[in-house]
A and B are shown apart, each in its own frame.
Chain A
Amino acid sequence: MSEELALKAEGLTKSYGRVRALRGIDLEMRRGEVLGYLGPNGAGKTTTIRCMLDLIRPDGGTLRVMGIDPQDDPVEVRSRAGYVPGELQMYENMTVEGVLRYVNGLRRDSADWSHVRELADRLDLDLAPAIKNLSHGNKQKVGVVQALMHRPELLLLDEPTLGLDPLMQREVLRLILEARSGGASVFFSSHIMSEVEAVADRVAIIRKGVVVEIADPSSLIRRAMRRAKVSFREPVDAGRLAEVQGVTVLSEDEGTSALLQVEGEMDGLIKALAALPVSDFETERPSLEEVFLSYYEDDEEEG
């Protein structure tokens, strides 16, 4: 397998009893890339990540992490990866420093402690208190520090900013970008579209255990359906616009204005509007969140 790929999954499947969590995941992540992994609860994000670390074993398909099958050499994969679990739990009676030293001990003290302190300082994390006395956000910071402290080649982050305030969210995103600048590959799942948009080179959208789309965020947004609001100097038959390929008339106001949904290129609509007495024309690009939600509209209808 090419060493240029940090991750490669082909036809990955995993079931929990009757629940099919992964139904054939096909995914590639290049080295030095930040790949956002988007999906609602239960889509299979955590299952995918845990397969990468050999915490669970897929039922079928192939998976390579930095060129290694995690089941063949899980220790090597884990030594080169840093992981923030989605449900982070630690020994409550240990101090923050105690937990980090324990993790570092499991990593044969590979982390430079000055780097640990630096990360803690940047995240405003006090190393002294016991874990049980920390807020959820501060516990999450411990998770981020332990994942980053040994400067891993690959970061597997399952909702890394969960519970963090906006300032710390931004700091974590900075750390992710710095890791990438340092050559690391970052695979992270998140529900927060703005942060995925901010840092991800590409976004993979998972739906019902299958990756339905992988593209860079701007391309996704560009290809997605947009809305256009058109005002006319005199009433027109908005039905003419509905005949343009990719255009749906969402609403109209007695021919004086119309709200349109446009899928794909705007060229057809622009040419159609050129023949009409247009007084105003506005378009808005959907957010990544709207793009993401559009992949799940069918699920809502079925519900």
Chain B
Amino acid sequence: MITVFRYSLRRLRGQVLGWGIGLALLGLLLVSMYDSIASNIGALEDYLEVFPEEFAAFFGDFTAFGTPEGFLGVEFFSYMPLILGIFAVLIGSGLLVSDEESGRLDLIMAQPVSRTGLFLGRLLAFVAASVGITVLTWAGLAVPMSWSTMDVGRGQLALPLLTMLVQVLLFGALALLLSMLLPSRRLAATTAGLLLVASFFITGFANINEDLEPVAKLSPLTYYQAQEAFGGLNWEWMAGLLGATLVFVLLGWWLFQRRDIRVGGEGGWRLPALPWRRSGSGEAN
């Protein structure tokens, strides 16, 4: 499993650097801009007042835009799960199935690696990559605070990033589960991506339409704390999201244990297999 983890993480280093440095630079830019924005906050708040409430529903509390937390909430954290969700969905859906569709999984699984070892090694690499991106993003936000008037503690800055990380892990695990169920990585990524986007819009619209609140309770992004996290994490929500992530992971693992490994190419629809007794007993199906 260690070898699987090492090599999988190595293959993800491009993703970590790409996403991490990209988001870090965005954070650097935003924090650096804060001082000039804060000096014109009166005019800016007048400008933001004319925005429709639907806009605020998606991008957070505009009334707090003049505060560092509100500024970061609106300009950065409000849409970050949607952005990083792309990474989660693409990587999660391809963690195993990408190699299977290319035919590479045969060579890997012909070595003395258990399916569980392969699954866990790849999953941990995804977790480590997600953490790496989060750390780089944090650095991009934290470093410029040295010369900015933005007085957010570095530890406090980590709080919304933690909730963001949990969302990334959840959608990655969902994409992984879908890749075990659906005929192709492409379909799994598309489905997970649609669920991510749907979650974003349902959560946003539920802020302005109470009728959507029951549906929004099923949306993971409802439990995402953007600027609200600066005031402290909702640990119940975090536990619930991590619990859902664990359920997706366990289901994905269970399905991977039971599936036939394709030689290559896309496959057919796979319904969850019942735990049949295998051929060792001599019984035919």
Contacts and interface: CB of A to CB of B under 8 A. Distances in A.
Interface of A: 10-13, 17, 46, 50, 53, 55-63, 69, 71-72, 74-76, 78-79, 81, 83, 85-91, 102-103, 105-108, 143, 146
A83 B110 contact: yes
Given A57-B260, A60-B279, A90-B107, A106 B113 contact: yes
Contact of B3 (A46, A69, A91, A102): A102
Contact of B111 (A11, A78, A143): A78
24 contacts: A10-B282, A11-B284, A17-B268, A46-B263, A50-B263, A55-B110, A58-B279, A59-B284, A60-B283, A62-B279, A62-B280, A62-B282, A71-B278, A76-B112, A78-B112, A85-B110, A87-B103, A89-B104, A89-B107, A90-B107, A91-B104, A107-B112, A143-B107, A146-B107
A89 B112 contact: no
A17 B271 CA distance: 12
B108 A106 contact: yes
B106 A55 contact: yes
Given A46-B263, A75-B114, A106-B112, A85 B283 contact: no
B108 A89 contact: no
Majority DSSP secondary structure for residues of A touching B: mixed
A115 B214 CA distance: 65
A72 B115 CA distance: 12
A55 B112 contact: no
B282 A87 contact: no
Interface string B1-40: 0011011000100000000000000000000000000000
B264 interface: yes
Contacts of A59: 279, 284-285
Contact of B279 (A71, A88, A106, A146): A71
Contact of B106 (A57, A89, A91): A89
A63 B281 CA distance: 10
B272 to A, nearest CB: 15
B279 A105 contact: no
A57 B279 contact: yes
B104 A90 contact: yes
Majority DSSP secondary structure for residues of B touching A: loop
Given A60-B285, A75-B114, A106-B3, A55 B109 contact: yes
B125 to A, nearest CB: 14
Q: Which of B11, B110, B114 has the most CB of A within 10 A?
A: B110
B268 to A, nearest CB: 7
A54 B107 CA distance: 13
Contacts of B102: 89
Contacts of B107: 83, 85, 88-90, 103, 143, 146
A61 B104 contact: no
A125 B11 CA distance: 25
Contacts of A106: 3-4, 108, 111-113
A79 B279 CA distance: 21
B30 to A, nearest CB: 35
Contacts of B268: 17
A12 to B, nearest CB: 7
Contacts of B258: 57
Interface in B248-271: 258, 260-261, 263-264, 268
A255 B39 CA distance: 116
Contacts of A90: 104, 107
A55 B260 contact: yes
Interface string B82-96: 000000000000000
Contacts of A57: 258, 260, 278-279
Given A59-B279, A59-B284, A102 B7 contact: yes
A295 B260 CA distance: 30
B114 A87 contact: no
Contacts of B6: 105
Nearest to A9: B279
A89 B107 CA distance: 7
A88 B264 CA distance: 10
A89 B264 contact: yes
A9 to B, nearest CB: 10
Given A56-B261, A83-B110, A61 B284 contact: yes
B51 to A, nearest CB: 47
A106 B108 CA distance: 8
Nearest to A53: B110
A76 B108 CA distance: 15
A85 B106 contact: yes
A190 to B, nearest CB: 18
A60 B284 CA distance: 4
A146 B263 CA distance: 18
Given A13-B284, A55-B110, A75-B112, A87 B279 contact: no
A81 B113 CA distance: 12
B263 A87 contact: yes
B122 to A, nearest CB: 13
Contacts of A89: 102-104, 106-107, 264
Nearest to B115: A74
Contacts of B285: 59-60
